[in-house]
């Protein structure tokens, strides 16, 4: 039987906000509500009458899937990047800074921020599509409580260059340092510069030789030791400020497949105190349901004076790490259930459960990683989501760094395999052998490309496999000499 509900009291103005993608499957049923009669007919036959004091607001970034019948019933307000007042965003951010830093930050922002932002927008060489607001907030994220000019310049470089391709990031570093009249310690590598707070000046990253590497660290590939090359240190400093308790923010680490994103994140997580990490390995079928399952396993659902809340179970903080966040397959209307859910969680600090009860999240940080370069089965993220997370781009190590990394890996492996014949396990010999490995890897990568076959994808991970595979054999110094001669001859060809 049909039943009609009474309208809300006329003196109460109500707004129903629909924040998210619009697709015909749900919005078409609201057409009658958006008409003058304001009548909603439910699938059960029940009718709900809305009064003139009830209004609908749709917040979305795209109307490509909405029908003319829906669009013609609404007024539209288009907010473009040209309408954004960057100065207002910066002033709002400044008000949240400590009093002792605010004056200097205001001066430095006036000198360099808008100039650098204009340069970056002109280049338009972003790794992940984002909005102007996303770029501005990314730039400001490394400047919290900065009180030294050199520290400000390096922070601005890391924040504003975090979502740029490596060549453009290199040019930005030269431009920023030139405007600030600062000379990098190594003019050829301006990106390998950090601010030394002890000495109060710019300094260059130096290789930190690992100590006490043991063979036990190589038996589990997901626990391999991190070799702190200059590129590794630069990558860690690119996102470490977002993990600090005071300035914790959601972020993504982005880079080509096999560049070491997961290893760097694991290393950074291991240095956090009283923090648990919950990992969700994304696939084409991953949805919000899998995230909720992980939260239920690692958090307690409690009742507080503000309602129900998820809090970490066995620690103070929880990092929810979503690996390969761009793999979940969107529906036929282009909406990813996972990113839509995460967008709600990050924007409103909670979500509605299956009973339509609001559940807040406390002390839970969302971290994600994704591969770039058009990886198989990957999908583009919406700019609405990428705008509310910070972005740090990681690149492949160069030849010098690869040789340094695998020289360090080879040393304990060869010491174990050669025993008392460990002359080949000295630093000089392992560095030479690692150089042969890297040259062979580069030639194979050049010869066999994904243009020939899709599975011809060679990353530094294969170098790790080559090193670890030496553990399968009974090696001798003579065998290694012969192996190096074979590699050298193949490289000469």
Give the separation between CA 227 and CA 267, rounded to whole angstroms.
10
pLDDT at position 4, please? 44
- Report the CATH number that the domain containing residue 427 is assigned in CATH: 1.20.920.30
Tell me what the pLDDT averaged over the chain comes to: 88
What are the tens digits of pLDDT across the range 375-434?
A: 667 889 999 999 999 999 999 999 999 999 999 888 888 877 776 565 666 778 888 889
User: Residue 2 above 60 pLDDT?
Assistant: no
Q: Does residue 463 sit within a domain?
A: yes
Q: Does residue 432 sit within a domain?
A: yes
Residue 398: burial class (beta carbons within 10 Å; 0-12, 13-18, 19+): middle
pLDDT at position 402, please? 94
What are the tens digits of pLDDT across the range 238-290?
A: 999 999 877 899 999 999 998 999 999 999 999 999 999 999 999 999 999 99
Phi, psi of 86 (to 5 degrees): -60, -35
Q: Which of 78, 95, 128 is the last residue of a domain?
A: 78
Q: Does residue 430 sit within a domain?
A: yes
Reported for 285-291, long-range contacts at CB under 8 A and 24+ positions apart, including other chains, are 285/328, 285/329, 286/327, 286/328, 286/338, 287/328, 287/337, 287/338, 287/341, 288/337, 288/338, 288/340, 288/341, 288/342, 290/338, 291/320, 291/322, 291/338, 291/341, 291/342
Strands 47-49, 4-5: parallel, antiparallel or unpaired by DSSP?
Answer: parallel
Q: Does residue 125 sit within a domain?
A: no
User: Residue 3 above 50 pLDDT?
Assistant: no
- The HSE-up count of residue 44 (CA atoms within 13 Å, CB side) is 7
Lowest mean pLDDT among 85-99, 301-315, 366-380: 366-380
CB-based contact 195:175 (threshold 8 Å): no
The structural domain count of the chain equals: 2
Give the separation between CA 269 and CA 415, rounded to whole angstroms.
30
Give the separation between CA 3 and CA 45, rounded to whole angstroms.
8
CB-based contact 287:337 (threshold 8 Å): yes
Q: Which of 52, 78, 104 is the last residue of a domain?
A: 78
Lowest mean pLDDT among 112-116, 216-220, 384-388, 445-449: 216-220
- Domain ranges, residue 16: 4-78
Handedness of CA 423, 426, 432, 433 (dihedral sign): positive
Average pLDDT of the segment spanning 321-328: 95
Give the separation between CA 266 and CA 2, rounded to whole angstroms.
58
Q: Which of 20, 48, 78 is the last residue of a domain?
A: 78
pLDDT at position 280, please? 96
Reported for 175-179, long-range contacts at CB under 8 A and 24+ positions apart, including other chains, are 175/116, 175/119, 176/112, 176/116, 177/153, 179/111, 179/112, 179/115, 179/116
For the chain, the 3-state helix, strand and coil shares in percent, each to the nearest 5, are 45, 15, 40
Average pLDDT of the segment spanning 157-178: 95
Q: Does residue 452 sit within a domain?
A: yes
Q: Does residue 486 sit within a domain?
A: yes
Bridge-partner residues for 307, per DSSP? Answer: 304
Q: Does residue 94 sit within a domain?
A: no
Lowest mean pLDDT among 12-21, 176-185, 293-302: 12-21
Give the separation between CA 491 and CA 322, rounded to whole angstroms.
40
User: Residue 205 above 50 pLDDT?
Assistant: yes
435: three-class secondary structure by DSSP: helix
What are the tens digits of pLDDT across the range 221-238?
A: 677 889 999 999 999 999
What are the tens digits of pLDDT across the range 128-152?
A: 999 999 999 999 999 999 999 999 9
User: Residue 485 above 90 pLDDT?
Assistant: no
Q: Does residue 233 sit within a domain?
A: no
Q: How far is CA 427 from the centre of its chain?
A: 35
Closest by CA to 174, choosing from 159, 160, 157, 196, is 157
pLDDT at position 325, please? 95
pLDDT band at 321 (very low <50, low <70, confident <90, very high): very high
């Amino acid at each position: 039987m049909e039943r009609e509900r009474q309208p809300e009291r006329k003196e109460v103005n109500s707004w129903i906000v629909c924040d998210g993608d619009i697709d015909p499957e749900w919005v078409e049923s609201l057409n009658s509500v958006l008409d003058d009669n304001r009548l909603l007919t439910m699938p059960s036959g029940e009718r709900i009458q809305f009064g003139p004091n009830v209004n609908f607001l749709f917040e979305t970034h795209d109307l490509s899937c909405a029908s003319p019948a829906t669009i013609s019933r609404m007024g539209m307000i288009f907010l473009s990047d040209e309408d954004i007042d960057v100065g207002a965003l910066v002033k709002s951010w400044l008000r949240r800074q400590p009093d002792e830093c605010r004056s200097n930050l205001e001066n430095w922002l006036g000198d360099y921020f808008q100039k650098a932002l204009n340069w970056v927008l002109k280049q338009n060489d972003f790794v992940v599509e984002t909005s102007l607001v996303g770029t501005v907030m990314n730039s400001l994220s490394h400047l919290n409580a900065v009180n030294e000019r050199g520290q400000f310049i390096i922070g601005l470089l890391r924040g504003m260059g975090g979502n740029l391709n490596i060549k453009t990031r290199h040019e930005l570093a030269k431009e920023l340092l030139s405007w600030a009249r600062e000379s990098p310690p190594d003019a050829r590598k301006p990106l390998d510069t950090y601010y030394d707070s002890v000495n109060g000046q710019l300094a260059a990253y130096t290789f930190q030789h690992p100590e006490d590497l043991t063979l036990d660290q190589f038996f589990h590939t997901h626990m391999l030791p991190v070799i702190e090359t200059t590129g590794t240190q630069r990558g860690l400093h690119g996102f470490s400020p977002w993990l600090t308790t005071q300035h914790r923010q959601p972020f993504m680490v982005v880079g080509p497949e096999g560049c070491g994103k997961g290893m760097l994140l694991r290393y950074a997580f291991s240095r956090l105190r009283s923090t648990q990490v919950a990992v969700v390995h994304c696939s084409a079928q991953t949805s919000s349901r899998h995230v909720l399952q992980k939260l239920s396993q690692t958090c307690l659902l409690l009742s507080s004076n503000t309602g129900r809340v998820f809090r970490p179970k066995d620690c103070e903080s929880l990092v929810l790490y979503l690996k390969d966040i761009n793999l979940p397959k969107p529906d036929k209307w282009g909406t990813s259930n996972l990113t839509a859910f995460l967008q709600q969680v990050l924007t409103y600090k909670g979500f509605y459960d299956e009973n339509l009860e609001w559940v807040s999240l406390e002390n839970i940080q969302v971290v994600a990683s994704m591969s770039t370069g058009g990886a198989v089965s990957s999908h583009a993220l919406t700019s609405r989501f990428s705008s509310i997370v910070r972005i740090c781009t990681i690149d492949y190590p160069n030849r010098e760094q690869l040789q340094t990394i695998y020289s360090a890996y080879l040393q304990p492996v060869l010491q174990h395999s050669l025993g008392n014949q460990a002359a080949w396990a000295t630093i000089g010999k392992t560095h030479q052998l690692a150089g042969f490995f890297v040259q062979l890897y580069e030639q194979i990568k050049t010869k066999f490309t994904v243009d020939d076959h899709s599975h011809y994808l060679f990353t530094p991970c294969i170098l790790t496999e080559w090193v670890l595979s030496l553990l399968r054999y009974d090696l001798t110094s003579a065998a290694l000499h012969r192996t190096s001669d074979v590699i050298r001859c193949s490289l000469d060809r």
